[in-house]
Structure 1
Amino acid sequence: MPLPLISERPLPGAPADVTGARRQLIDRLSADGRLPLGDWETLLSSPSQEDRAYARDRAAEVARSQFGNRVFVRGLIEFSSHCRQDCLYCGIRKSNRDAERYRLSPDEILACCAEGYRLGYRTFVLQSGEDARYTTEVVTDIVRRIRAAYPDCAITLSIGERSRAAYQQFFDAGANRFLLRHETADSEHYDRLHPAGRTLESRLACLSDLKEIGFQTGAGFMVGSPFQTVNHLAKDLVLLSELRPHMVGIGPFLPHHRTPFADQPAGSVDLTLFILSLVRLMLPTVLLPSTTALGTARAGARESGIQAGANVVMLNLSPPEQRPKYLLYDNKPVSGEVVEMTEAVRRSLGRIGYEMVVDRGDHPEAAR
């Protein structure tokens, strides 16, 4: 039998009539998959522990109805810590002169894939800062080499904003998925998190291009980022309901000591778990990671994320000596042999009644 959810500090309580209204909204979300902005704001305003438990239990039922007790594992390869962008929340922003920078060669990336494949990984996630050294041609060549070596595997890219022509070239070379978190659906809030010249309009245009090309496309946002309001979170969820992405990445904001937001508080784990459940109810077949940031924010939270409706975990296949240099936020876990980490996660999922499977774990639409 699954273990009970790891104990959590209750959020402030709510009057019974408000709690009842939230449960009605949760039921409507489960039935319709959409809510208007005002209802999202009501749902997200100081949910009680009972509200969160109700959403969690409903979301767990939906996830099991779609995927059984299966959890898909992804092999993450962080291949460059160089970045031309200067996002105010990110530890590898170009203004961080203390950041240690590295790049993996194509051969080193293929070596990471080889180790992952031997251990049962069937999805490789290539992630980096926006590094101009990895041109469209270089990335295309890497994708082609992985596709030729591992034709039964999925290839996911998470390399930021590129031209539509570049995205098309990656897709034609054999990439299947692309992760591009929108970070916030409010343009003013977006401007407060990013340097001048970066716009929400550009980010959303990239997401539209990716979907039209045929990628399994992932969006997402941070919970508790600086200046974030309930209205911002509500807009994020409205955007997801309209975009209908195949993947959604959500984790708590975690500060990095060498960014302008170093002194900002971390995002709420409890609220992040609640939102994961709401996303599962809104998008029943979505591929929903229980993120590294969630597990970093609180011990056992990665397992809580699975119990809240998530069905994906990512484990780091990058060379151990390079992992400490890809530090997006403070206290990110960087140590451990891949085989040991894999078995540890397999055991921890088994203790709560889930199975880590050897599978590409495609979105059901793509699988059909």
Structure 2
Amino acid sequence: MMTVDEILDQPELSRADMIRLLSISDDHEQKALIRKAYSVKTKTVGQKVYLRGLIEFSNLCRKNCFYCGIRNDNHKINRYSLSEDEIYRITAYAIQQRFTGIVLQSGEQNSPAFTKQLASLIAHIKKMANPPLRITLSVGEQSYETYQEWFNAGAERYLLRIETANESLYHKIHPDNAVHSFQNRLQCLENLQKIGFQTGTGVMIGLPFQTINDLADDLLFFKNRNMDMIGMGPYLVHSDTPFARFSASLLPSGERFRLSLRMIALLRIIMPDINIVATTALQTIDPTGRESGLLAGANVLMPNLTPITYRDNYLLYDNKPGSKEEELSDEFDSKLQQIGEKIEYNNYGDSIHFTKRNSHDCISCDNN
């Protein structure tokens, strides 16, 4: 059997290699994997971090995902939607903090009024800064026409997590109905790429019923689907969800954390030029979790700019950090300097993979 170092020296990793690396239990082997990933990151995207200001503008959601704290059937939370003026004030603060992009995130809503309102918000935000902010949307499954309208209004990026690439597992973590269709989610990802979005997805790590083989297949899904950006982190329990009953059977939180770092590291190795988010879920388990994510290969942070008065009502999982604190770019500067990373304030941080993919598509079009 090859050692971890021998596996990592190969020009390409097989599925079996990924399963072996994801199964690491030895601390020295874990460190070797993370060192390799950080070396790849340094060579491809540099020791640079890009900030995206996160605005959780509504917790209204039509979905009933079994793991999620803002699921439609959770009646223990107060529902809210920020006003346009509140969103514009937060955006102005993001500009003041030298962010080059924001993320507009909400529960999933589907209506002509929601489509129109968000298109109007996007168009207005694009005019608020010069150069204009990059806008990422994370608002769930929508029609092709809706995605096109938001793209035309000025949104450039879209994050739609697949949650798991295993269709059987997907059906275990969602209700079995048309509103929670695995095939529709796949189609939405295809539509987003076709329209021209920088397209992101992601999974939860350590879900009930999930195996190491599933996680290896998730990594292959990202690669085979040509994703531009990935956000993934440890699965964390929300006590007011159906999945809370599985809490005792989960991997210990420390192992979910270590496994998440291995997933990030492997993803950086097999997709060197994509953008990878160091998620807040990492910080929930370890106070320096996001920094650990960056050292494992991530290069994007999404500080939460949602007004503090609303944050406790946008808890996807219990004990989400930052519900009472402002996150300032100066504080990130100080933390990241300590680990040798630097925030890129004057750079959009577009996915290099996306730029290459688009360039290749254009060449292919010219040759046809």
CA distance in 2, matches of 1:27, 1:180: 33
Whether 1:93 and 2:71 are equivalent positions in the alignment is: yes
Counterpart selection for 1:208 from 179, 186, 190: 190
TM-score after normalising by structure 2: 0.89
Q: Which residue of 2 aligns with 1:7?
A: none
Give the secondary structure class of the aligned counterpart of 1:233: helix
CA distance in 1, matches of 2:332, 2:244: 30
CA distance in 2, matches of 1:139, 1:225: 32
Residue type of the partner of 1:296?
Answer: T
* Structural mapping, 1:223-262, within 5 Å: 223-262=205-244
Counterpart selection for 1:357 from 334, 339, 344: 344
CA distance in 2, matches of 1:109, 1:296: 26
Residue type of the partner of 2:183?
Answer: E
Can you list the C-alpha shifts for 1:270-301, whole angstroms capped at 9, x where unaligned? 01001100000111111111100001111211
Residue type of the partner of 1:347?
Answer: S
- The answer as to whether partners of 1:244 and 1:283 remain within 8 angstroms in 2 is no
Can you list the C-alpha shifts for 1:42-74, whole angstroms capped at 9, x where unaligned? 332344222221111111111111232211111
Residue type of the partner of 2:116?
Answer: E
Can you list the C-alpha shifts for 1:115-135, whole angstroms capped at 9, x where unaligned? 010010111000000134662
**Residue-pair matches, total:** 344
- The answer as to whether partners of 2:237 and 2:317 remain within 8 angstroms in 1 is yes
CA distance in 1, matches of 2:187, 2:5: 35
Question: What stretches of structure 1 move > 6 A for 4+ residues in a row?
Answer: none
Whether 1:335 and 2:335 are equivalent positions in the alignment is: no
Q: Which residue of 2 aligns with 1:275?
A: 263
**Percentage identity across paired residues of the two chains:** 40
Aligned-CA RMSD value: 1.7
Cα gap change, 1:273 to 1:211, in 2 (>3 Å): same
CA distance in 2, matches of 1:27, 1:192: 37
Q: Which residue of 2 aligns with 1:168?
A: 148
Can you list the C-alpha shifts for 1:97-123, whole angstroms capped at 9, x where unaligned? 101211012221111110010010111
Counterpart selection for 1:348 from 322, 335, 344: 335
Give the secondary structure class of the aligned counterpart of 1:275: helix
CA distance in 2, matches of 1:367, 1:119: 26
Give the secondary structure class of the aligned counterpart of 2:202: strand
Q: Which residue of 2 aligns with 1:80?
A: 58
Q: Which residue of 1 aligns with 2:163?
A: 183
Whether 1:192 and 2:172 are equivalent positions in the alignment is: yes
Give the secondary structure class of the aligned counterpart of 2:28: helix
Gaps of 5+ in 1: 1-16
Gaps of 5+ in 2: 357-368
Which has the larger displacement, 254-263 or 182-191?
Answer: 254-263
Counterpart selection for 2:122 from 143, 158, 170: 143
CA distance in 2, matches of 1:132, 1:321: 26
CA distance in 2, matches of 1:51, 1:146: 46
Cα gap change, 1:43 to 1:69, in 2 (>3 Å): closer
Cα gap change, 1:51 to 1:200, in 2 (>3 Å): farther
Give the secondary structure class of the aligned counterpart of 1:304: helix
Counterpart selection for 2:19 from 23, 36, 41: 41
Q: Which residue of 1 aligns with 2:97?
A: 119
- The answer as to whether partners of 2:18 and 2:266 remain within 8 angstroms in 1 is no
- The answer as to whether partners of 1:26 and 1:278 remain within 8 angstroms in 2 is no
Residue type of the partner of 2:171?
Answer: D
TM-score after normalising by structure 1: 0.89
CA distance in 2, matches of 1:199, 1:43: 31
- The answer as to whether partners of 2:110 and 2:142 remain within 8 angstroms in 1 is no
